[in-house]
């Protein structure tokens, strides 16, 4: 498909895509090359976004033993190509969806933990922060108070929520609920 490959090369040159990534793109099967070209054009992916998309797509395809074209044809991704809304927002959502596909259990676990934190209905002065990428089993609890009365109120509230917080900590550490 010389015409498609020329288009890919031209886009890569405009975006200063690293040679390694261009080579990887050109080495894909034809439907995958074309599908990625379509996504890159419709979402106007910038260099960094294109690099990340190529990496994620490649990894998803290897993990699931499928082609990149079939990943890009999934409704959750395909919808974003032509959905209303700003192009940069759709490009951002596209990469986010790719990340969710690449790390499905991490996404699911994070969502469950975030739901458990939200269910505690903590006031604005208390923030319960999950470890980045759930890489460790440490929960950070942040209190913001500007006077002693407010601080005491937040601490009392935290003590009340001890059981829920312990449950969250256990979930982060691989407790049975995860």
Partner 1 sequence: MKFELDTLVVEEASRDSALAARLVAALGSSVPVSYVADAREAVRPTPGPDPFGAGKRRMVVLKRHTPFLMACPAGSAKFACCGYLVLVLASNCPMDCSYCFLQEHVANNPAFQIYSNYADSFEELDRLSRSAPGRHFRVGTGELADSLAMDSVTGLSKDLIEFVRDREHLTLELKTKTDEIGNLLQTDPRGRVIVSWTLSPEAVWKSSEHRTASPSARIAAARAVLDAGYRVGFHLDPIIAYEGAEKDYAHLIDELLDVITPGRISFLSMGSLRMTPGLRSAARRRFPHDPMLLGEEVPGHDGRLRAFSALRVRLYRIIQQRLARAGRPVPAYLCMETSTVHERVFGVAPANPATIGERLALG
Contact set with partner 1 (CB under 8 A): 59, 62-65, 103-106, 109, 131-137, 171-175, 178
CB of 23 to partner 1, least distance (A): 12
Taking the C-alpha atoms of 105, 116, 140 and 171 in order, what is their torsion angle to the nearest 10 degrees? -50
Q: Which is nearer to partner 1, 123 or 174 (CB)?
A: 174
H/E stretch holding 39: helix 30-42
Tally of CA atoms within 13 A in the half-sphere of 114 that contains its CB: 9
How far apart CA 52 and CA 45 sit, in angstroms, is 10
CB of 27 to partner 1, least distance (A): 10
Q: Which is nearer to partner 1, 115 or 135 (CB)?
A: 135
CB of 114 to partner 1, least distance (A): 14
How far apart CA 144 and CA 153 sit, in angstroms, is 11
Q: Which is nearer to partner 1, 64 or 89 (CB)?
A: 64
């Amino acid at each position: 498909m010389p015409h498609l490959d020329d288009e890919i090369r031209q886009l890569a040159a405009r975006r200063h895509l690293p040679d390694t990534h261009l080579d990887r793109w050109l080495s894909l099967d034809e439907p995958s090359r074309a599908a990625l070209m379509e996504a890159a054009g419709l979402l106007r992916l910038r260099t960094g976004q294109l690099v990340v998309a190529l990496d994620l797509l490649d990894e998803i395809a290897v993990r699931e033993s499928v082609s990149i074209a079939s990943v890009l044809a999934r409704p959750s991704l395909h919808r974003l190509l032509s959905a209303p809304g700003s192009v940069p927002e759709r490009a951002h959502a596209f990469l986010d969806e790719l990340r969710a596909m690449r790390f499905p259990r991490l996404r699911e676990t994070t969502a469950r933990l975030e739901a458990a934190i939200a269910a505690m209905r903590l006031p604005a002065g208390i923030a319960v922060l999950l470890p980045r990428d759930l890489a460790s089993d440490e929960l950070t609890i942040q209190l913001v108070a500007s006077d002693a009365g407010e601080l005491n109120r937040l601490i009392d509230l935290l003590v009340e929520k001890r059981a829920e917080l312990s449950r969250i900590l256990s979930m982060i550490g691989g407790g049975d609920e995860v």
